[in-house]
Structure 1
Amino acid sequence: MRAGWNWLKGPEPWTRRMLAGDLVLGGVLALLGLGVEELDNGSVQRMAAGAAAVVLLTLARRRLPATTLIVASAVSPFLPGSLLVTVLLGWSAGRRIVGVGRAMAAFTVAFLAAVVFSVVQAWSDERPVLVIVFSTLMFLAMTVMPGLASRYWSQRRTLLQALQERNGQLMRERVMVAGQARLRERQRIAQDMHDSLGHQLALIAVHTGALEVDPQLTERQREAVGVLRQASVAAMHELREVVGILRDGVEAPVPAEEAQPAARGVAGIAGIVEAARSAGTDVRMTVAGRPRPLVAACDHAAYRIVQEALTNAYKHASGAPISVELRYEDDSLVVEIANGPAAGPGVGAVVSGGQGLTGLRERARLVGGMVHAGGTEGGGFRVAGVLPYGAEPAGVEDIADDFGQQAQAQAQAGGFTVAPPPMDWAAVDKELAVGGRSRAGGVAMGCGIAFAAVVLLVIVIGAGVVMLVGSAGSAMISQEDFDKVRVGESEEAVRKKLPDGDSFMTEGLERKGPERPAGSDCLALLSSDDSGLTTNTVFRFCFKDGKLVDKQAYESEQ
C-alpha cells in the first residue's frame, strides 16, 4: 500500500494539503460532469463511470501526465462527463512532460485518440467530416491551449529560478574575490608592520636590556629601564599576534619561553595595572560581584578597554590617580576606568591618531556591548564599557542587489548564516525585462496566446451553432406538415415527407406521451412553431406492418 502511494506521488512532493486540493478539484469537475451527462440524457451507470474517471485521472495526473491526457481524450467521446477534465490534464501535461519532443508526441496521440473515438462514437450520424472538424476545434480549445499556456508559464518560472541560482553563485564568487583581495592587502600590511615596527621594537629591547645592567644607574633608574624593556617585549609579542591575525586570520602561536604570565583578557588586567604602579602611577583596582567566564571576544575586549583607557590617562592626565573597577552584573561585565585631573603639566607632544576610543566602541559593538567615554564633574575623564557574557555578532546590513542575495553571501562569508529572504517574483520579473525588446516580446507572446484562444473559442462556438442548426433541420417539422400526413399511408411515403429525426434533440421523445401501439416503431419530431420555454410540442408517428397506424401531438417537458 505504501509503495503504491509513493509511486502515485511521483518525483515531486505531495503533501496532505495538495492531496486534499486534488480531491476537491476532482470532485468539482465530477459534479460538473454529472451536469453534462444529465443534459445528454446519460444513464446512471455512465454518470458513475464518468465521475470515477474524472477523480482517478485528476489524482494520477502528477505521476502520469501523458498517459492520463491520452486516456481522457480517448474516453471523453463515450463519457461526456469527463470532457471538462481534459482542460486540467492539458495544463498538467504542459507543465510536467519533460522535453518538447515528448510533449508533442503525447499531445499528438491524445488528439488522434480524441478524433478517432469521436468518429467511432458518432458513426451512425454519417457526418464524419463535421465530427472531425468539431473534435479538432474542441481539442485545440480545451487541451492544446491550456497546455501551451502551462508550458510557457513553467518554462518562464524555471528560467527565473535558474537566474536566481546563477545570481547567487555570482554573489558568492564576488565575496570570495573580495575576500582574497582583503587577504592580500592584510598580508602586505602585516609585512610592512613586521619589517618596520619589529625592527624598531627589537632595537628598543636590546638597548634597554643593555642599559638595565649598566652599573652607573641607580636602583630606581634600573627599575624604570626594566619597565621599558618589559613594555617593549610585550609590544613585540602583541605585534607578532597582530601580524599573525593579518596574515592568516588567527592569532600567531607564542613560544612557551616567551609567553606572558597573564593572558590578553580579564586575567591580564591585573598585570597591566601592576605594571602601571611599577612605573610610578597611582592605580587602584577593585572587583565587585562573582567572577564569571566570558567568551574569548568579550574577554579580549575588556582587556583592550582597560589598556586604552590607561594609555589615554598616561598621555593626557600624567600623575593623576586612576581607578579601575570590574563589576560582574547579572547579564554583563562592566569595566570602568576613571582618572582625576592632571596633577601637573602633560608629557608634551604625544603620538595619537585619535582612533583609540573609536576602535573601542567598534570592538564592543561587534560583541554586542557598548563603550561610553566622557569627562567627569571634577575635571577628570571616565571610560566605561558594558560587555555581555555571551557574544552576539553584530547584524549584517541589508545590501540591495538584483535578487537580494548579497547580504546572505556576506553573512555566510563572515562565518554565520542568516535566513534567506523570500523571493519577490514581481521584482525578478521587473529586473528580468531589462530591455524594451524582451518586454515587448513577452507582451506579444501573451497577447498572441490570448488572441488564438479567443479565435479558437469563436470557431468552436460557430461549429456548434452549425451542428445545432443541422440537428434542428433533422428534428423539426411544422404543424402544417403534421396535418398533411394521413393515418393509413405507407411507411415509405410518410418517411419521404418527414425528416429522419436522427438528432440529439429528439432522443427519447418517442417514449414519452400517450401509449404507443403494440409492436409499432415510432418516429418523434419537434414542432418548429413551438416557442415554449419549459415544454416542447412533440409530433409522433408510429408505423406497423409498413403503414402509419398512429400519429399523436403532445407536450413534453424539456
Structure 2
Amino acid sequence: MIIARQRARIAAAGAWRLAYEAGLLILVTAGATAGAISADLYPLAPWLVGLTTPVLMVLRLVNPLGAYVTAALIGLGTGGQGVVPMVVLSASLSYRAARAWQVVAGLTAGWVCFVLSVPWETALTLEWAVLFSALYALLACAPAGVARLVRRRRTLLAAMHHRNVQLHSGQAEIARQAQIRERARIARDLHDSLGNRLTLISLYAGMTPTEEGVLIRQASAAAMSELRQILGLLAQDGTQPTVRPLSGLDELAEQARASGAQVEVEREGEPRPLAAMTEHAAYRVIQEGVTNALRHAHGGTITILLRYEEDALIARVTNTPGRRTVQGTGQGLLGLAERVRVANGVLFHGPTPDGGFRLAATLAYTADEPSPSSAVAATGPDFAGLVERQGRRSRIVMATTAVSIAGFLVLCASGVWLTTAMVAVDGETYDAIRIGQPETEVRAMLPEPDETGTKVPAGCVDYPAALLDQLRTESGEMIYRFCFRDGVLVDKQKREGTP
C-alpha cells in the first residue's frame, strides 16, 4: 500500500520535480562525501557517508524528522554532519514537518549530536561547545528558519489562490445564470410577438376554404413549429432541445409536394445522435435547398439526401431544371454558409451537368456547442489557468537563475582548481620522489613551476600542495620544496605557510 502510494506520488510529481530531486541528491551526496574525505577520520567514513546520504535524501520526502535525526546520529561516527547535507536536511525538516515541535525536536537532537561529534582529536571544552553551537546555529537553524517562513508564505498564497478561484467561479456562475435569464426573456419576447402574428395568419387563412388558404395555414403551422424549435435552442442551458428538426424532414417534403413538386427523400447510413447545432444546420441546408428549388426550378424533381458517414453527416438537395418563379438575391446562401461554418462544416453549391442545381453540406458530428458560460469565458482567460501559468513561469525563472548561479560558482571553482592543479603537487608524487634522483627524472614528474613573485634559495623550486593535502594542514597552506645541485635532487621539504 505504501509502495503504491509512493509510486502514485512519483508519477504525479512531473519531470521537472524529478529532475530537481535527482540533481539535489547528486549534489548533496557529492558534497557530503567530499567533506568526509577531507576530514580523513578513518577509511570507512567516506563510504558510510556516501552510501547513507542518498537514502536520507529520499527518506526526507516521507519522514523529514526521521531523516534528520538519522543523519545526526551518523554524524557522531563521522565527525559531524557535512555542511551541504546539514543545510539541505535542516531546510527540508522545517519546510516539510507539519508540527513546530517536530522541527524543534529535530534541531535539538541535531545540535546535541553535532556538539558531541567534535572531540575526535581534542577534548570537548566549553569554548569548543560554544563555537560549534554558533556554527550549528548558522548552518542548521538559519536555513530552517528561512524554510519555515517560505512554507508559511506558500501556505498563505495557496489559501489566497483557492479563495480567488472560488470567487471567480462564483462570479462565472452568476454571469451564467444572468445569461440564461436573458436568453429566456428573449425567447419569450419572440414567442409572444412572432407567435401571435403567425397564429393570426393561420386563423385568417382558415376563413378562406380554398387550396391557397390551406397551404398558407399549413405554412403558418410549420413556421410556428420551427419557431418553437429555434426558441428551444435559444433557451437551452447546456441540455439538448427536446424537439429535433430533422424529425420534420418528411413533413417538409409533403409541403413541397403540396405545391406541385416531385420530391424524393433518401436516407443512407446508420442514424446516430447529433449535436443540436449540427442537426439544425443540416435541416436549414435541406430547407434552403427545397425553397430555392421551388423558387428557381418550379416543376422539377427535387431529391433530398441525408447520409450518415463514419465521420461526417451529408445533407444534400438536388433538383432538375424547371421554370423560375422568383428572382433571388443570393443572400440566403451567404447566411447558410456562415451557419454551416459555425457548425464545423463546409457548404457546396452549384449547377449540375443536366442544368439543375445542387446544394450540399458536409457537417462534422462534433459541432462546437455553445457552452453555458461562453459569454463569461469570452471576457478573459480562465483565472485558475492564468495563475497556474504565472506560477509555472516563476518556477522556470527561479530554476534558470539557480542553474546560472550554480554554473557560475562551478566555473569559478573549476578555474581555481585548474589553476592550482596545473602547478600543484600531491602527496603521492612527493613521497615517490627520492633524494639522489637525477634532476631530469624529478622534473619530468613535476609540473612546470610558477616562479613569478616567489623567493626561494638558488637551485630550489616550490610547488603548492594539492587541495586535499592543503585541507589536512592546520594552517591550510602547504608547500613542497625541491632543491637540486649538480643535476641531482639533494633535498625535499614540506613547509607550512608562506616561504
| TM-score, reference length from structure 1 | 0.56
Of 217, 224, 228, which aligns to 2:216? 228
Distance 1:110 1:205 in 2: 94
Contact 1:94 1:150 in 2 (8 A): yes
Contact 2:115 2:129 in 1 (8 A): no
Contact 1:187 1:247 in 2 (8 A): yes
Alignment of 1:209-248 (within 5 A): 209-212=206-209, 222-248=210-236
Return closer, same or farther for 1:335/1:198 CA change in 2, 3 Å cut-off: same
| Cα offset, 1:89, TM superposition | 0.7
Contact 1:336 1:385 in 2 (8 A): yes
Return closer, same or farther for 1:224/1:34 CA change in 2, 3 Å cut-off: closer
| Cα offset, 1:118, TM superposition | 4.8
Contact 1:201 1:235 in 2 (8 A): yes
| Cα offset, 1:102, TM superposition | 3.8
Distance 1:225 1:210 in 2: 8
Of 237, 245, 256, which aligns to 1:264? 245
SS at match of 1:533: strand
| Cα offset, 1:96, TM superposition | 0.4
Of 263, 267, 271, which aligns to 1:293? 271
Aligned length: 404
Distance 1:120 1:236 in 2: 99
Distance 1:24 1:92 in 2: 15
Contact 2:480 2:495 in 1 (8 A): no
Distance 1:531 1:54 in 2: 31
Distance 2:190 2:287 in 1: 21
Distance 1:427 1:38 in 2: 40
Contact 1:264 1:303 in 2 (8 A): yes
Return closer, same or farther for 1:19/1:144 CA change in 2, 3 Å cut-off: same
SS at match of 1:43: coil
Cα deviation code 1:239-261 (max 9, x no counterpart): 3333444445467768xxxxxxx
Of 132, 142, 145, which aligns to 2:139? 142
User: In structure 2, what residue type is equivalent to 1:326?
Assistant: L
Distance 2:169 2:193 in 1: 36
Of 375, 387, 391, which aligns to 1:425? 391
Distance 2:361 2:4 in 1: 60
Contact 1:90 1:146 in 2 (8 A): yes
- Matched with 2:39 is 40
Cα deviation code 1:169-205 (max 9, x no counterpart): 4443343223212211122112212222222222233
Contact 1:122 1:131 in 2 (8 A): no
SS at match of 2:271: coil
Structure 2 residues not aligned, in runs of 5+: 406-472, 483-491
Is 1:279 aligned with 2:259?
A: yes
Bigger CA radius of gyration: 1
Contact 1:334 1:385 in 2 (8 A): yes
Cα deviation code 1:307-347 (max 9, x no counterpart): 13334555x64847474442748554433346689946648
| Cα offset, 1:275, TM superposition | 1.3
Distance 1:52 1:344 in 2: 94
Structure 1 residues not aligned, in runs of 5+: 213-221, 255-262, 409-419, 431-441, 451-525, 536-553
Distance 2:37 2:192 in 1: 96
Is 1:88 aligned with 2:54?
A: no
- Matched with 1:177 is 174
SS at match of 2:305: strand
- Matched with 1:369 is 345
- Matched with 2:434 is none
Is 1:306 aligned with 2:283?
A: no
Contact 1:309 1:337 in 2 (8 A): yes
Is 1:326 aligned with 2:305?
A: yes
- Matched with 2:53 is 54
SS at match of 1:387: strand
Distance 2:236 2:37 in 1: 81
Distance 1:312 1:170 in 2: 52
| Cα offset, 1:278, TM superposition | 1.3
Distance 2:183 2:115 in 1: 77
User: In structure 1, what residue type is equivalent to 2:346?
Assistant: M
- Matched with 1:360 is 336
Alignment of 1:477-492 (within 5 A): none
Is 1:133 aligned with 2:139?
A: no
Distance 1:109 1:97 in 2: 15
- Matched with 2:432 is none
Of 387, 391, 411, which aligns to 2:363? 387
Alignment of 1:64-213 (within 5 A): 64-73=63-72, 75-76=74-75, 78-80=77-79, 82-83=81-82, 84-98=84-98, 101-102=100-101, 105-106=104-105, 108-110=107-109, 112-114=111-113, 116-118=115-117, 124=123, 126=125, 128-137=126-135, 139-151=136-148, 154=151, 158=155, 161-162=158-159, 165-212=162-209
Alignment of 1:506-517 (within 5 A): none
- Matched with 1:13 is 9
Contact 2:72 2:80 in 1 (8 A): no
Return closer, same or farther for 1:293/1:300 CA change in 2, 3 Å cut-off: farther
- Matched with 2:411 is none
| Cα offset, 1:375, TM superposition | 7.8
Distance 2:153 2:321 in 1: 72
User: In structure 2, what residue type is equivalent to 1:185?
Assistant: E
